[in-house]
Amino acid sequence: MPITLRWLMNAIRYASRLLILAGLALFFYGLAWNFSTRRYMTGFADAIIPLAGSPQEKTEALIAWFHHEPQRNDLFTSESEGPIHDRDPVNIVQDARLLKVCGTASNAFMNLADAAGLKVRRLLLLDQSGGTMHVVAEVQWGDRWIVVNPQQGLIYKDHLGRALTREELRKPEVFKDAISRMPGYAPEYTFERTIHVRLRRIPILGDPLRKVLDRFDPQWEEAINWSYFAENPPLWLILISLSLLLLGLMGLMIANRSGRDRRSGPLKVSIS
């Protein structure tokens, strides 16, 4: 079936314009969503965290809020009404059920801590097969990244009350001592294997991509705070919108260039 190059380029031009319009719509929606979320989380954090406090004081105030099981409603009464793994920061701090799950509790902690000006990142504890056992968070105090457990509302501390880092918690005796003061903590949630970003979520490419990145730069996970992006759906929309804009612009460039070339002589593509 013969088809002219002109028809094909017009189709690409039309599709590219649709991609650009969709990208712009998603971009501005993502910006608005991110702004409203940030504003809400900042106001929420200001109500429970001392504005002029040190990183330690802010962390302790925030983790105390989690520890005392703040009264919240269950926004969704059944699994069919809403996902228990909702990643929207606003929904999480409003739902008692989500604050009891390690992943979403850490999400809430990270977003509130970030709104309060703390440097924070997610930490995934892995089992021997590479699966995620537990999710906690790290907060920077000076030159140390101390570990907190938002699900329990506790900071990992030694017998002297000193906050611990993940490197210190890798020592069996230190870890055992720390969790002895954390009732209900599962002893299998160790720090032998930890990551900040779970690339395994990417179908097929996740594990190979991690191997390549680890070989190229073993410290790539700590070079940028990837955790903040992973826990903020509004930023996902912005990334998707930029991808759509890029594809749309590339399509227009190809179609326009082909149109210029076509003026020098008619070209046809035959599909049989």
Q: What would the pLDDT profile of 38-91 be if each residue is shown by its tens digit? A: 898 888 888 888 878 899 999 999 999 988 866 555 554 444 444 445 677 888
Q: What local confidence, expressed as pLDDT, does residue 270 receive?
A: 42
Task: Give the least confident one: 7-16, 85-94, 113-122.
Answer: 85-94
CA–CA gap between residue 136 and residue 122 (Å, rounded): 6
- pTM equals 0.75
Q: What percent of the chain has pLDDT over 70?
A: 83
Check the CA dihedral 83-84-87-88 and report its sign.
positive
User: Would you say residue 183 has pLDDT above 60?
Assistant: yes
As a whole number, mean pLDDT of residues 196-224 equals 74
Which burial class, exposed, middle or buried, applies to 140 when counting CB atoms under 10 A from its CB (0-12, 13-18, 19+)?
middle
**Predicted pLDDT of residue 13:** 86
pLDDT for residue 81: 44
* % of the chain exceeding 90 in pLDDT: 40
- Strand 120-126, strand 2-4: pairing: unpaired
Give the C-alpha separation, 116 to 111, whole Å: 9
86 dihedral zone (left: phi>0; alpha: psi -120 to 50; beta): beta
DSSP element (H, E) containing 145: strand 144-149
269 pLDDT above the threshold of 50: no
Among 15-24, 84-93, 229-238, 248-257, the range with the most confident prediction by mean pLDDT is: 15-24
Is 267's pLDDT higher than 60? no
**pLDDT at residue 38 in the model:** 87
Point out the least confidently predicted range of 89-93, 175-179, 230-234: 230-234
Residues 6+ apart with CB under 8 A from 108: 66, 89, 92, 93, 98, 99, 150
Q: What is the pLDDT of residue 264?
A: 53
| Predicted pLDDT at 257 | 78
CA distance 188 to 99: 22
